[in-house]
């Protein structure tokens, strides 16, 4: 089963150049993030390059500080790399939570049907129409000094209904397929049908659900931070952009502090969207340029 899924994933990637591109970019960003402690060490040469007053403040980009230093004398390059790791982690946490919750709710609602579906769908629907951003703003007022994980959880509360909604409609259409009936007359139980007949065919949708909620979480947080309402204690890309804006870094010649995080976020946005579109291309053959296989 896992081998089969892996093979299917590889087959999918071969079928879509966009998906492959998106995954490659994402992979590079993740690698950079994974190596962020090493990069910090290399820059600091023994000391922590993002400690307050580690260096002189507002140094312009040069050989010793590729992207210069900020208002507290921290190395911007090391900071950006660390912030990228934080942003990705928040995206991953929120993405995983939203996807898992969304998938479970979608399967229970879609497969069981009846009043269970009614209750869950209504609940999901309510969460969907609640204006998320103002609520997040309100929440962040209470969320000073929260941990990275808490931020991820907070954001995923609002992200899972999107995943649940798309996946539920797919479950509804898949559960009446004749192969589900065949499984039932072959004595397969509900859980077995869900995991072996339905889930594999939903992988692309689950992938889309994950990518969109990760995207939503990362950018939702950036949105909060740009307007100065980010939860304290977590330094992600949005936080750096905010401090670049609020300190007027651009006028001080410290443009990398603004440009580099924005560039990284753009790259991340493009990569996640390419994954989304690529997956959509594969499962919706009408969007495909050439027929695969």
* Choices 1-9, 70-78, 159-167, 244-252 (CB under 8 A): range interacting with another protein: 1-9
Map the footprint of another protein across residues 4-33, applying CB under 8 A. 4, 8-9, 11-12, 15
CA gap 111, 261 in Å, rounded: 43
CA gap 145, 136 in Å, rounded: 15
* Choices 85-93, 136-144, 200-208, 229-237 (CB under 8 A): range interacting with another protein: 200-208
293 binds another protein per the rule CB under 8 A: yes
CA gap 4, 6 in Å, rounded: 5
121 binds another protein per the rule CB under 8 A: no
Instruction: Read off φ and ψ for residue 65, nearest 5 degrees.
Output: -130, 95
Containing 36, the helix (H) or strand (E) segment is helix 36-44
Among 20, 66, 92, 203, binds another protein (CB under 8 A): 203
**Closest CB to another protein among 255 and 283?**
283
Question: Between 256-283 and 17-34, two packed helices, what is the crossing angle to 10 degrees?
Answer: 140
**Closest CB to another protein among 63 and 114?**
114
- Contact call for residues 282 and 12 (beta carbons, < 8 A): yes
157 binds another protein per the rule CB under 8 A: no
CA gap 95, 18 in Å, rounded: 21
Containing 179, the helix (H) or strand (E) segment is helix 178-185
Map the footprint of another protein across residues 227-286, applying CB under 8 A. 282-283, 285
Minimum gap (Å) between residue 140 Cβ and another protein: 39
CA gap 186, 76 in Å, rounded: 61
* Choices 63-71, 84-92, 109-117, 171-179 (CB under 8 A): range interacting with another protein: 171-179
Among 25, 127, 139, 188, binds another protein (CB under 8 A): 188
**Closest CB to another protein among 28 and 287?**
287
Report the SS3 class of residue 145: coil
Q: CB neighbours (10 Å) of residue 178? A: 7
CA gap 27, 21 in Å, rounded: 10
**Closest CB to another protein among 197 and 236?**
197
Minimum gap (Å) between residue 67 Cβ and another protein: 41
CA gap 20, 285 in Å, rounded: 17
Among 46, 185, 251, 289, binds another protein (CB under 8 A): 185
Among 24, 34, 135, 182, binds another protein (CB under 8 A): 182
Minimum gap (Å) between residue 22 Cβ and another protein: 16
Instruction: Spell out a b/e string for 69-80, using b for 16 or more CB atoms within 10 Å of the CB, else e.
Output: bbbbbbbbbbbb
Number of shown-chain residues binding another protein (CB under 8 A): 29
* Concatenated DSSP letters of 240-260: HHHHHHHTTGGGGT-THHHHH
* Choices 121-129, 134-142, 199-207, 229-237 (CB under 8 A): range interacting with another protein: 199-207
CA gap 15, 17 in Å, rounded: 7
CA gap 285, 292 in Å, rounded: 9
Among 179, 232, 263, 266, binds another protein (CB under 8 A): 179
Among 116, 119, 181, 227, binds another protein (CB under 8 A): 181
Residues lying near another protein in the complex (CB under 8 A) are found at: 4, 8-9, 11-12, 15, 177-179, 181-188, 197, 200-201, 203-204, 282-283, 285, 288, 291-293
């Amino acid at each position: 089963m896992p081998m089969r899924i892996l093979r299917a994933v590889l087959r999918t990637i071969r079928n879509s150049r966009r998906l492959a591109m998106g995954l490659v970019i994402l992979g590079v960003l993740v690698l950079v993030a994974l190596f962020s402690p090493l990069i910090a060490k290399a820059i600091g040469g023994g000391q922590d390059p993002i400690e307050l007053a580690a260096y002189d403040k507002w140094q312009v980009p040069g050989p010793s500080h590729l992207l210069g230093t900020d208002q507290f004398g921290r190395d911007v390059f090391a900071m950006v790399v660390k912030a990228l790791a934080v942003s990705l982690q928040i995206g991953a946490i929120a993405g995983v939570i939203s996807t898992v919750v969304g998938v479970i709710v979608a399967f229970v609602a879609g497969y069981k049907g009846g009043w269970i579906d009614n209750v869950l769908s209504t609940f999901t629907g309510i969460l969907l129409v609640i204006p998320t951003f103002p609520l997040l703003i309100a929440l962040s007022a209470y969320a000073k000094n929260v941990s990275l994980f808490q931020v991820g959880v907070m954001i995923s509360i609002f992200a899972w209904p999107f995943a649940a909604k798309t996946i539920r409609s797919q479950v509804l259409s898949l559960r009446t397929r004749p192969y589900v009936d065949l499984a039932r007359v072959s004595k397969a139980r509900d859980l077995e049908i869900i995991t072996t007949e339905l889930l594999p065919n939903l992988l692309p949708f689950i992938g889309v659900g994950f990518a969109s909620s990760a995207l939503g979480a990362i950018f939702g947080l950036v949105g909060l931070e740009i307007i100065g309402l980010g939860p304290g204690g977590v330094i992600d890309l949005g936080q750096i952009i905010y401090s670049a804006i609020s300190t007027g870094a651009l006028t001080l010649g410290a443009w990398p502090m603004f440009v580099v995080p924005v560039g990284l976020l753009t790259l991340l946005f493009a990569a996640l969207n390419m994954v989304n579109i690529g997956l959509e291309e594969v499962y919706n053959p009408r969007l495909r340029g050439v027929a695969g296989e």
